[in-house]
Amino acid sequence: MIWNDEFETLPREALASLQLKRLQNTLERVYSTVPFYRQAFDRAGVKPEQVQSLSDLQRLPFTLKQDMRDNYPYGLFAVPMEEIVRLHASSGTTGKPTVVGYTRQDIDMWSGLMARSFAAAGVGRGDIIHNAYGYGLFTGGLGAHYGAEKLGAAVIPMSGGNTKKQIMIMQDFGSTVLTCTPSYSLYLAETAAEGGFDIRNFDLKVGILGAEPWSESIREEIEQKLNIKAIDIYGLSEILGPGVAIECIEAQNGLHLWEDHFIAEIIDPQTGENLPDGDEGELVITTITKEGIPMIRYRTRDITRLISEPCICGRSHRRLQRMSGRSDDMLIIRGVNVFPSQIESVLMQVEGVEPHYQLIVDREENLDSLEVQVEVTEDIFSDEVRIMQGLSDRIRSQIKDMLNISCKVRLVEPKTITRSEGKAQRVIDRRR
Ligand code: DLL
């Protein structure tokens, strides 16, 4: 279902002129209210009024996560605190978090985009949304919650954790929609099975899953294990939270980025140059309707490409290809670049392997080493050593053949790799 027909199917030309008008307004506003942007634009020698076309945006400098840290906590806000009604923060692994503030209008816009995203995934009134994204500083819980209310669906504010209880509620309340990370959806399925329930027979029909990279093979695994359609949703706190882009249920192929609110560019992460349409690179986003903390050319570090071909659903907004990963999560193993999601794809094609794995990166004698730890089914684990050995050799050689990476493979007992209630930690980098 299309939530906002007028905007979601706007012809490309009209969409571009709307973007330009909104971009110009945003640039004027940040230039006069945020010293960081004024200085950055001055250094680049560009005044807001000189941005006369969408491609002029490329003359402006990027904004980095570090810029948010340097201006911690409120330095990039474009409105006085009296107008801010909500604060969120993204944790980050080191140092201070990055803080984002929303005005009342921002919350309205966000809820609208989340409602639009739910609708694109085939969710509507009458649905019961089991929201297991964490509530708190993380944007997932409240972002999905407000969107669900705006949509008019019934939302269960579960948050993460207490997994056994989640199963009971999901079954008793007849939840039809599950919102959580892809890894947590598998944990829920596993916990249900342990308790003697078949989650496949619950009322669930769709999962709106995101906040971490996942491969097409994991999607198949989830769809099969939970008997749902698994829809990929993308977002990040610096830009909004969930609801920046989502797959439509019709195509389930590429995530529509809501271009009436965001301008996307794809750049070469090394040189910062803009890449031609359709090339894979780092996603850069500019917000054009946000009040609290507008972002100009924010480098997301997420690697994807833009799909310009029209979609069968009728929406005119371009799509992002499923994220391959983050440029800062890319592993360089003896000179070969690889994303954890690529290793995941290979693993998931091997029979007997469970969708739970961890990658341990280390340095041995000045060379990078990679150990792939992956769970195998109970049957295989109790088999003879010879069979286990054969399986790990097979995995190692498939990784070598498909990704050209040499690694060690360690098969581990079912349920030994830590389960996550939010974002899964797939990589342990001991070099840091
Ligand atoms: O993860 C917002 C969100 C919540 C999105 C719920 C979707 C669902 P942050 O915690 O700021 O915000 O993390 C943002 O997570 O830059 C990506 O690297 C990663 N990410 C988010 N969604 C996806 C996805 C939320 N669908 C960071 N596929 C982003 C791959 C994703 N990576």
Going by pLDDT thresholds of 50, 70 and 90, the confidence category of residue 293 is very high
- Sign, Cα dihedral of 124, 100, 244, 33: positive
Going by pLDDT thresholds of 50, 70 and 90, the confidence category of residue 122 is very high
Closest Cα partner for 31 from 16, 51, 54, 15?
51
Q: Phi/psi zone of residue 335: left (φ > 0), alpha (ψ -120 to 50 degrees), beta?
A: left
Average pLDDT over residues 399-414: 94
Average pLDDT over residues 342-359: 94
State the distance from the centre of ligand 1 to the C-alpha of 342, rounded, in angstroms: 18
CATH of the domain at 71: 3.40.50.12780
State the distance from the centre of ligand 1 to the C-alpha of 214, rounded, in angstroms: 11
Does any ligand 1 atom lie closer than 6 A to the CB of residue 247?
A: no
Average pLDDT over residues 11-31: 98
Residues 203 and 352 reside in one and the same domain: no
Does any ligand 1 atom lie closer than 6 A to the CB of residue 176?
A: no
State the distance from the centre of ligand 1 to the C-alpha of 9, rounded, in angstroms: 25
**189's tokens:** 């399925």
Q: What is the pLDDT of residue 366?
A: 83
End-to-end alpha-carbon separation of the chain, Å? Answer: 47
Residues 306 and 204 reside in one and the same domain: yes
Q: Whose CA is nearest to atom 20 of ligand 1?
A: 211
Average pLDDT over residues 413-424: 94
Residues 235 and 190 reside in one and the same domain: yes
Q: What is the pLDDT of residue 381?
A: 84
383, pLDDT greater than 90? no
**88's tokens:** 């969120």
Residues 9 and 125 reside in one and the same domain: yes
365, pLDDT greater than 90? no
Q: What is the pLDDT of residue 332?
A: 86
Q: How many domains does the chain have?
A: 2
Residues 224 and 350 reside in one and the same domain: no
CATH of the domain at 376: 3.30.300.30
Q: What is the pLDDT of residue 92?
A: 66
State the distance from the centre of ligand 1 to the C-alpha of 210, rounded, in angstroms: 6
Residues 368 and 408 reside in one and the same domain: yes
Residues 39 and 152 reside in one and the same domain: yes
Q: What is the pLDDT of residue 401?
A: 95
State the distance from the centre of ligand 1 to the C-alpha of 144, rounded, in angstroms: 13
Boundary residue ending a domain (272, 292, 327):
327
Q: Whose CA is nearest to atom 15 of ligand 1?
A: 211
Q: What span, in angstroms and rounded, lies between the C-alpha atoms of 376 and 414? A: 6
Atom index in ligand 1 nearest the CA of residue 91 equals 10
Residues 313 and 348 reside in one and the same domain: no
Q: What is the pLDDT of residue 265?
A: 98
Average pLDDT over residues 82-98: 87
Q: What is the pLDDT of residue 380?
A: 87
Q: Is 423 helix (H, G, I), strand (E, B) or coil?
A: coil
Residues 165 and 300 reside in one and the same domain: yes
- Sign, Cα dihedral of 115, 135, 291, 69: negative
Q: What is the pLDDT of residue 289?
A: 98
Does any ligand 1 atom lie closer than 6 A to the CB of residue 140?
A: yes
Q: Which domain holds residue 406?
A: 331-429
Going by pLDDT thresholds of 50, 70 and 90, the confidence category of residue 367 is confident
Average pLDDT over residues 172-194: 97
155, pLDDT greater than 70? yes
Boundary residue ending a domain (311, 327, 343):
327
State the distance from the centre of ligand 1 to the C-alpha of 226, rounded, in angstroms: 22
| pLDDT tens profile 55-73 | 999 999 999 999 999 999 9
Does any ligand 1 atom lie closer than 6 A to the CB of residue 236?
A: yes
Average pLDDT over residues 91-101: 82
Question: For residue 83, how far is the Cα from the chain centroid?
Answer: 28
Does any ligand 1 atom lie closer than 6 A to the CB of residue 329?
A: no
40, pLDDT greater than 80? yes
Atom index in ligand 1 nearest the CA of residue 208 equals 8
94, pLDDT greater than 70? no
Ligand 1 site-directed mutation target among 302, 304, 341, 426, most atoms within 8 Å of CB: 302
State the distance from the centre of ligand 1 to the C-alpha of 7, rounded, in angstroms: 24
State the distance from the centre of ligand 1 to the C-alpha of 139, rounded, in angstroms: 9
Please report how the helices 216-226 and 340-348 are oriented relative to each other, as an axis angle in degrees rounded to 10.
Answer: 50
Residues 98 and 226 reside in one and the same domain: yes
Q: Whose CA is nearest to atom 16 of ligand 1?
A: 236
233, pLDDT greater than 70? yes
Residues 286 and 313 reside in one and the same domain: yes
State the distance from the centre of ligand 1 to the C-alpha of 52, rounded, in angstroms: 32
Average pLDDT over residues 408-412: 96
Cis peptide bond upstream of 157, omega within 30:
no
Closest Cα partner for 313 from 6, 13, 2?
2
- Sign, Cα dihedral of 242, 248, 249, 253: negative
Cβ–Cβ < 8 Å for 279, 269: no
356, pLDDT greater than 90? yes
Atom index in ligand 1 nearest the CA of residue 209 equals 8
Q: Is 53 helix (H, G, I), strand (E, B) or coil?
A: coil
Long-range contacts of residues 230-236, Cβ cutoff 8 Å, at least 24 apart: 230/182, 230/185, 230/206, 231/121, 231/206, 231/207, 232/322, 233/117, 233/121, 233/208, 233/209, 234/210, 234/302, 234/320, 234/323, 235/139, 235/143, 235/210, 235/211, 236/90, 236/300, 236/302
Q: What is the pLDDT of residue 4?
A: 96
Q: What span, in angstroms and rounded, lies between the C-alpha atoms of 281 and 300? A: 11
Average pLDDT over residues 295-312: 98
Using CB atoms within 10 Å of the CB of residue 300, give its burial: 0 to 12 exposed, 13 to 18 middle, 19+ buried: buried
Please report how the helices 139-151 and 104-120 are oriented relative to each other, as an axis angle in degrees rounded to 10.
Answer: 70
Q: Whose CA is nearest to atom 9 of ligand 1?
A: 236
Percent helix / strand / coil, the chain, rounded to 5: 35, 25, 40
Average pLDDT over residues 122-146: 98
Ligand 1 site-directed mutation target among 145, 177, 212, most atoms within 8 Å of CB: 212
Boundary residue ending a domain (289, 312, 327):
327
Residues 135 and 226 reside in one and the same domain: yes
Q: What is the pLDDT of residue 93?
A: 61
Ligand 1 site-directed mutation target among 183, 323, 324, most atoms within 8 Å of CB: 323
Percent of all residues in the chain with a pLDDT value above 90, rounded to a whole number: 91
Going by pLDDT thresholds of 50, 70 and 90, the confidence category of residue 329 is confident
Q: Whose CA is nearest to atom 30 of ligand 1?
A: 213
Measured CA angle at 423 (ends 422, 428), to 5 deg? 135
